[in-house]
Amino acid sequence: MKVWEAVQASNSAPLYFPPLELDCDGQQLLLMDGALLNNNPVEVAFHEASLLWPEDNIALIVSIGTGTTETSNQENGKGTVLDLVDILVTIVTATSEKMEQFCRWLMVIGSKAEAIRIDPPGAGAIHADSTYPPDWKFSISQTQKFLCSSKGVRLIDLVVTRLIKNGKQEIGS
């Protein structure tokens, strides 16, 4: 699979874009965005890396999000259809919670891997089908603001430091 095909398949969000049709050694595949099944596939990536490099210990997992949003509250607990839609959207997009579950699982299995999540707060406050430029500008500005903040700088510095440290350990062994 070529990089552009992987990107196209990942962006083939159901109801918005058609799946990518790909012939893989005579087998027809329909590839699409996996958000409906697994919006933060950190466990899948960890498992695949473990299969690809079984003799290596995975030292660092970096999960990069597209931003978090504030969840809306139901007014007076009326439970309208819009409230249900809001709850379902929250569940499907709960990528940070998925990372927290993954970190707990790493501790349970005794893994020494370090997991870092980078997710700009407020940057995910636009709908996937928005074509309204101010929405996108807001999301970009929130991401830039986060990356320049002390927390953003600390996270990026932590990732770079760990990558350099792990690279030196691998070269030295």
100's CB contacts (< 8 A; 6+ apart) are none
Q: Which of 12-16, 100-104, 117-121, 125-129 has the lowest mean pLDDT?
A: 125-129
pLDDT at 106: 92
pLDDT of 149 reads 93
- The predicted structure's pLDDT at residue 170: 58
Query: Per residue in 8-54, pLDDT tens?
Result: 887 777 777 788 888 888 899 888 877 767 778 888 889 988 999 88
Indicate if the pLDDT at residue 93 is higher than 80: no
Q: Say if pTM beats, i.e. exceeds, 0.75.
A: no
